[in-house]
Amino acid sequence: MSKPKLAYYLAGGCGGCDIAVVDISEMLVDVALAVDIVFWAPTVADVKYKDLEAMPDGSIDVGLFTGNVRNSEHEHIAKVLRNKCKVLIAFGICAACGGIKGLVNLHTTDELLDKAYVNTFSTDNPNKELPQTTCVVDGKYELTLPTLMYARPLDEVVKVDYYIGGCPPHYEHVKAAFTALLSGQLPPPGSWITMGK
Ligand code: SF4
């Protein structure tokens, strides 16, 4: 019997939700052996975005989406994952509700760039250089950075099947989620998955 296929994507988050997965400690080994990780970005599995897009729709059993939707890449991958995954989970409060990362909506992009790259005590940037939205690599490849957007929770972009709260999610919630997913005993669609449910 083939293993359930799992995808994981970090969008506009901090990586703390990645740590929440590792935080299930010895259960991580059981999960790793029980699933086939087909996409884990941007950190672990050597699967590129174009490989994800080539997968048949509905071919991934579970997708975990962490962080909110903050730029055009996040929005695109959210839509791709929605098409590829039978079950899509907003993992962590940024994906579920916007989270602390949603505070960027209180400021303009110019204010945020100024605070991050120019106007702090620890910044040495006399020419007020800011990140460029395009650059040329090796003199031949032009790269364009994703466009920043108003930060949104995942369900403002695509339909979400389940939510896991917390910042980051408590390991007992993550364990409960993997237990439910691997046993096939999922709560009603639209539920928040918490410990013991
Ligand atoms: Fe980081 Fe918390 Fe957002 Fe997870 S929910 S990505 S830990 S800020």
Q: What is the pLDDT of residues 97-132, one digit of tens each?
A: 999 999 999 999 999 999 999 998 888 999 999 988
What is the model's pLDDT at position 137?
A: 81
> Can you give the length of the chain in residues?
197
- Asked if residues 106 and 98 have their Cβ atoms less than 8 Å apart, the reply is no
Number of structural domains (the chain) is 1
What is the model's pLDDT at position 195?
A: 63
What is the model's pLDDT at position 45?
A: 58
What is the model's pLDDT at position 190?
A: 84
Domain presence at residue 134: no
Query: How far is it between the farthest Cα atoms of the chain?
Result: 61
Counting as low any pLDDT under 70, the low residues of the chain are 43-47, 195-197
Report the nearest-CA residue for atom 2 of ligand 1.
167
> Tell me, what's the ipTM?
0.99
Expressed as residue numbers, the domain containing 187 is 1-105+150-197
Ligand 1 nearest atom to the CA of residue 93, by list position: 5
Ligand 1 site residues, Cβ closer than 6 angstroms: 13-14, 16-17, 66-67, 92-94, 99-101, 167-168
What is the model's pLDDT at position 197?
A: 44
Q: What is the CATH number of the domain that holds 160?
A: 3.40.50.700
- Contacts (Cβ under 8 Å, ≥6 apart) of 162: 87, 88, 89, 90, 177, 186, 187, 189, 190, 191, 192, 193
Ligand 1 nearest atom to the CA of residue 12, by list position: 6
- Contacts (Cβ under 8 Å, ≥6 apart) of 102: 68, 94, 151, 153
Domain presence at residue 11: yes
Domain presence at residue 137: no
What is the model's pLDDT at position 37?
A: 92
What is the model's pLDDT at position 58?
A: 98
Domain presence at residue 133: no
